[in-house]
Every structure is written in structure tokens, then in C-alpha cells.
Structure 1
Amino acid sequence: MQVLITDDGSEMLDRDATGGLVPISAYGITDGSHVTLRIQVPGVDDLDDVPLVDEAIVSSAFALGVLQGRGGGNGRKTRWTQDQIVALIEGVERHGLSAWRTIVQDPRLAGKNNMQCKDKFRNLCLTIIQGRPERGLTLDWRLKDRVKTLIEQESIKLAEPPALW
């Protein structure tokens, strides 16, 4: 269960006693205010025993706009930069196709989650395998060669869905 705590330590409720929605302004939250996210997991003493807790915290922080300037909070998609694509390719080279939670830890991938990384790599592979034109950012030929090498190493084919998706 996720609970938001205001600066003064009071719990923020999303509904009042009658079931009506409580606006965030009712708690005096303005620009510059701090809100703490507390995650309560019934029957669990150590959060390290709960899978995906780190991702839940980060995901909630992005949804609330807590991590400003890092691609979260406003609901808009952010375009991939050349540096992020390089980080993604390096991550797959180092960790393989099933380590998206590890790959996304690269600071250059701030604002991206593991599903976005998996989808971007899948689309890079499909673009190269199908020979279709690139949308948005055009990759340097050296990066394309690195992705081609990964396609060969991981036996990624169009006929059967590979393990990464």
C-alpha cells in the first residue's frame, strides 16, 4: 500500500469520509512543497524481500513529478538521445537480453524504465532486420554494426519471437 505524507507528517487521503475526491490543494501542497511516499507491505519486515520495490518507488516518484528534470511526471514521452541509445546497446552487450532491470540502472538512462529499454532495443533490432527506415534519431553506422552483432550473437530472428520480447 502506498501512502503520501505531507511536510507536517499527515497522511494524504485521496477520498474523504463521503467517498468524494480530496484535491491535493486541501493539503497545502504547492510548488516547493515536499511529499514523502511511504510504501507499506502487509506481513513483510524487510523491503529487500519484496521484488520490484525500487521500481515501484521510482515509478511512483515519476508519476508524482518528484524527480523533476528526469523525464517523469508530466505524462509526456521523452525522445531517446544518442547517448541513451549508446548506453542501451552497451548494457545489452554487457548484461544480455534478460537484464533490463540492471541495464536501466545506468545513469545515462535516467527517465527510462526497463520496459522502455526492452521496447527500444526490440525496435532497433526490427529496424535493422527488416531494413526499414529509421524514425526520429538516425543511428551512426558503428552503432548499427554493434546491434547487428548482438542480433547474430543472440540469434534474434523475425520468424519466431526472440526471448527479449
Structure 2
Amino acid sequence: VMFFLFSLAFVQGVGSYLIQAGEDGSVTDDERDALLLWFGSVSTCMLTCFRVVTGGDDWGAYYDMLQPTGTINIIIFIFFVMFSEIALLNIVTGVFVENAMKLSQPELATLAFEQRKRDLADAASLRELFHQIDLDQSGKITAREWADIVETNEKLRYRLTVMGLDIK
């Protein structure tokens, strides 16, 4: 759509110039032929615009070709080149950034695996902790053993808090 709209403007501007310059006799046959070759119809002008933006041709040659047609055509052409390059750069950058963001997000299976590893490590740590709390080595922690250790062992309270356990 963008190529089409700019091509319409270029074809209209070149056509107006050729009509006016043809009456004045100020356009050479070579200039007229070159302008008609690259800007003579909307379809060829769209191809010219595509070649300019994608690096198929240097845009400076087309700028020089359009220079005699007037300041408006030159301004439109420069705006077209700048707009196209910036738009194209933004699209390409957006695609790369979007893909990078997708790749940087861990998959659900990876997240589940990491959580499972943390849970197993917490369970092993709690097992070790409860063996230390069981002072009489009965395999059970009595309410009295629990109350004594929680009141006196600040390190234990901190470890349980880090694990996300509230011991109030």
C-alpha cells in the first residue's frame, strides 16, 4: 500500500513535469526516456521504489533523475526513503526482539522441574532439621521439644522463614 501511494505521487509529479517541460522544450530525450522508464507507470514506479528501499539500486541515482521535476517530488522521494528505511528497520528489529523475548522465557516444563528441585531440597533440609530437633531420637517431635527449640533457636526460625513457613 505504501509503495502504491508513493508511486501514485511520483507518477503524477513526473507526468506533470513531462507535460510542462514538453511544452517548454526544456527536457532532453534522454531525461524523458529515463523518467518514463523508471517512473512512467504506477507498476514500474512501485518496482523502482522497491529497488530503492531494498538496496537493489542506489537511491541517489533516482534522486538525481527526479531533481529536475521539482522540489515537491524530491521532498516526497526523500521522505519515502527515510520512512521506508525506518519502518523496515523497526519491523526487522521488532521480529528479532519478539523472538529473543520468546526464547528468553523458560518453558513450563523447565519451571516445573526447577520448582520440583527446590521442593526436594527443602524437604531434605527439613528432614535434617527435624532430626536435630528430636532430642530424644524417638523419631517424633513432641510439642515440648518443638516449643523449646523454636523459642531458643533463632537460626531455626530464620531457616523456616526462608523456606516460606510461618511458625507463629
Same fold (TM > 0.5): no
Question: Normalization by structure 1: what TM-score?
Answer: 0.24
Structure with the largest fraction of helix: 2
Structure number with bigger Rg = 2
Question: Normalization by structure 2: what TM-score?
Answer: 0.24
Structure with the largest fraction of strand: 1
